[in-house]
Structure 1
C-alpha cells in the first residue's frame, strides 16, 4: 500500500509546495495532490524521482507511517519577519516531528540525565504567576527569572552557554532556514525543548544572544499561542525575550562594576575588553548600559554615530577571533551509540527505508562522520559471528 501522508511529510520537511515538487518531477499539481491523498498510486518512475530528491528508499512509501505530531504551530516562537510564512511554519513543524522521533529512538538505548530545564520552567512559571498577583512590573519579573535561570544552569562564563543549555536537556540543531530566520524554539508535547539555529553566518557573540533569547521564549512563553498574536503583541513578546537575554547574559551588579572601569563610554572600542569577558556584542553591551542609565542620552547618540562611522554594525572587533561553538549533544549521543554497537547504522537505515544523506541532513552531521559506521556488525560476545579461538 502506498502511503501518501509520508510523501506529504517529506515534501513539507524539505519546504516544498505541491506546485514546486510537481514541477521537479514533471507532473501536474493535481496529480501530486492525488498521490498524497491516496487517490492514485504513482508509477515506479515517479517513485524513483522521489527517491533522488528526498534520499529515501522506494519501500519508504510502502511501510507504515512512523512520524507522530509532537508540536503545533502556535508553540513555535518565530522572529517577526517570518510569522506570516505558513510554508516555512509547516516545514519547521514537520522537521521537529522527524527529529524528535529519531532522538527518541536514540534515547531508548541510552540512560540520559534528567532534563532539568523542564523543572526550571515550572519554577519560573510559578514565580511569574505569583508576581502577577503582587505587581504589574513584568520587567522585574523577567529580571528575576533570568537571574534564577543563570543560577540553575550554573553559568559562570557566557562562553559555556551552549554546553550548559545542551546539558540542561535542550536539543540544539542547525539547519538552513533561509536568510530571514535567525533561530526559533519550541517545546514538544512530551516536554522536550528545542532550539533550532539558522545556518546564516553570524559571529559567536551574536549566536550567544540568540541562545539566550530563545531560552527566554522557552521559559517565559510556553503557554502563549504564538500563531494568534497580532503584530503589537508579537513585538512585546520579542522584547521580553530580548530583555531576558540581556539580563541573563549581563547580570546587573557584575556588569555595572565592570562598566564603571570604562573611561570613554561613547567610544565603541572601549567595550572590546567587556566583549571578550561576556561574549556579548559591543552594541548589546552599550544597550544594557544605557538602559541601566550608565550613559546619558547624548553619549548614547554619539556611541551609535561612532558605531556607524567605524562600520561595526555588521562586523565588530574580535568577531573573527572568538570561535563559533557548534552544537554537540546529538553528535556525541549518536557516536556513543554507534561506537558501542547499541544500534547498527545499516539496520537503522534499513528499518526506516532512508539513505545516509537523509539522516545526515536531519541531524545536521556532516564531514562524513557517519560513513565509517556503514557495514558495521555487532561484535559483542553474544553475536553468532564470534570465532572460537581454541
Structure 2
C-alpha cells in the first residue's frame, strides 16, 4: 500500500499517515485501531520498534528491472525473516556459518581468477567434490549457516534478495514459481554476492551500469563456476548441439542457457556458435521455460521449518505463545517458516477491556 491507499482505507489524512511513519507524531488509540484493522497486522507488532538493519548492503537478483517500490517491499520482508530467526534462535542453536574468507576489495579490482578460487574454496569447505553436480544447494547452504526463506510476494522483475544481518547471511526468494534450475542459480548468485562483495558499503554508490556490468556479472560468474566446475563440465560436454545440452541439464541441474554461457566463457564455442544456439532457443520459445523445467524438483528451504517444529514438538514453548512472539501477520510467518501455523492465537485474540472511570 501507498500512504494514499492507507489513508483512504483508514479514514485518516495522508499527512497524518506520513507523520506516523516518520515518527513526528504518535497515533492515538482510535487512529491506531483503524490502521491495524486495515493492515491486518497483530496489535503487538505496533508496540515495539522494528529494528532498522544498517549493517551491510542489500543485494537484489534482477535489480535493473525491479522498481524501487518492489525492492523496498522485499527489504522489509527480509526484516521479517530476521525477526522470525531471532525468536527461534532464543531456543535452538542454528548451524554455524561456514564460508570462505570474504573479499574486502573494490569491485573493480576483483579478478575472474579470484572468483573461480572462491567458488572452488566453497566447494571444498562444503565437502562437495570438484567433479560432481551440487545436489540440493538450498539444503547444503542451510546446513552451513545461511538462512534462506521464501517471501510472501511475487514479482517477475525480482527473484531474490540477500544481505548480512549481524553475523549471518540471509537470502529471501521471491515466490515467482520459477524452475528448479533458475532457483538454484539465483541462490548461487546471492551466495556470490555474500562472499565477493563484503567490501561494498552501499550499492547506491554505484551506477546502474556498474551494478549490471560489474557487480551482477561477478555474482553470475561465481554461480557459474560454483555450479559448473570448468574441468568437470568440460569433460561432460561431448557435444555442443542443443539436443546434448538438453540431456546435460538433467545431470548438472543448470539451465541450458547458463551452460551455453559457461561453454562460451571457457572458449569452447565462438561468438557465432553462441548466437546460433541462442537464436534456436528463442525460436523454440525456451527463454522463460526450457525442457525438463517441470520435471526437476524445485528445492525448498526447510531449516526454519525444522527449528519451529522442534520447539513446538518438544514443548519448549506453546505454539500459540511462539506465534505471538513473531508479531507478524500469519501469512507472512507461514511463508517464512514454510508451513501452516495454528490459526488460533489465544494471546492475540484477547480483547482489551475498557472501563469508564468517573472523574470526581
* Alpha-carbon contact 2:123-2:226 (below 8 Å) kept: yes
Looking at structure 2, the residues matched to 248 and 163 of structure 1 have their Cα atoms a distance apart, in angstroms, of 16
Looking at structure 1, the residues matched to 146 and 111 of structure 2 have their Cα atoms a distance apart, in angstroms, of 25
What does 1:136-285 correspond to in 2, within 5 Å? Answer: 138-155=111-128, 156-175=132-151, 176-188=153-165, 190-224=166-200, 225-235=202-212, 236-259=214-237, 261-262=238-239, 265=240, 267-285=241-259
Change (3 A) 1:60 1:164: closer
Shift of 1:90: 3.6
SS at match of 1:199: coil
SS at match of 2:135: helix
1:370 aligns with 2:359: no
Shift of 1:254: 0.5
What does 1:74-93 correspond to in 2, within 5 Å? Answer: 75-78=57-60, 79-81=62-64, 85=68, 87-93=69-75
Looking at structure 2, the residues matched to 257 and 351 of structure 1 have their Cα atoms a distance apart, in angstroms, of 53
Looking at structure 2, the residues matched to 228 and 20 of structure 1 have their Cα atoms a distance apart, in angstroms, of 32
Which residue of the partner structure matches residue 20 of structure 1?
A: 5
Shift of 1:364: 4.8
Which residue of the partner structure matches residue 351 of structure 2?
A: none
Task: Render the CA deviation track for 1:314-361: whole Å, top value 9, x for unaligned.
Answer: 211111110111111111110111111112122234456656445325
1:68 aligns with 2:51: yes
Change (3 A) 1:241 1:60: closer
Change (3 A) 1:240 1:35: closer
SS at match of 1:172: strand
SS at match of 1:196: strand
Equivalent of residue 97 in structure 2, options 115, 138, 143: 115
Change (3 A) 1:106 1:19: same
Change (3 A) 1:347 1:164: same
* Alpha-carbon contact 1:54-1:358 (below 8 Å) kept: no
SS at match of 1:371: coil
Change (3 A) 1:302 1:94: closer
Looking at structure 2, the residues matched to 110 and 77 of structure 1 have their Cα atoms a distance apart, in angstroms, of 28
Which residue of the partner structure matches residue 55 of structure 1?
A: 41
Looking at structure 1, the residues matched to 316 and 280 of structure 2 have their Cα atoms a distance apart, in angstroms, of 57
SS at match of 1:70: coil
Task: Render the CA deviation track for 1:8-52: whole Å, top value 9, x for unaligned.
Answer: xxxxxxxx3322211222322012234443636345376155235
1:344 aligns with 2:315: no
Looking at structure 2, the residues matched to 173 and 353 of structure 1 have their Cα atoms a distance apart, in angstroms, of 18
Looking at structure 1, the residues matched to 332 and 187 of structure 2 have their Cα atoms a distance apart, in angstroms, of 26
Shift of 1:168: 1.1
* Alpha-carbon contact 2:10-2:38 (below 8 Å) kept: no
- What TM-score results when the alignment is normalised by the length of structure 2? 0.84
Equivalent of residue 324 in structure 1, options 298, 306, 311: 298
* Alpha-carbon contact 2:256-2:290 (below 8 Å) kept: yes
More helix by share: 1
Shift of 1:231: 1.9
- What TM-score results when the alignment is normalised by the length of structure 1? 0.78
Looking at structure 2, the residues matched to 82 and 297 of structure 1 have their Cα atoms a distance apart, in angstroms, of 26
Looking at structure 1, the residues matched to 83 and 70 of structure 2 have their Cα atoms a distance apart, in angstroms, of 20
* Alpha-carbon contact 1:56-1:358 (below 8 Å) kept: no
Looking at structure 1, the residues matched to 287 and 331 of structure 2 have their Cα atoms a distance apart, in angstroms, of 37
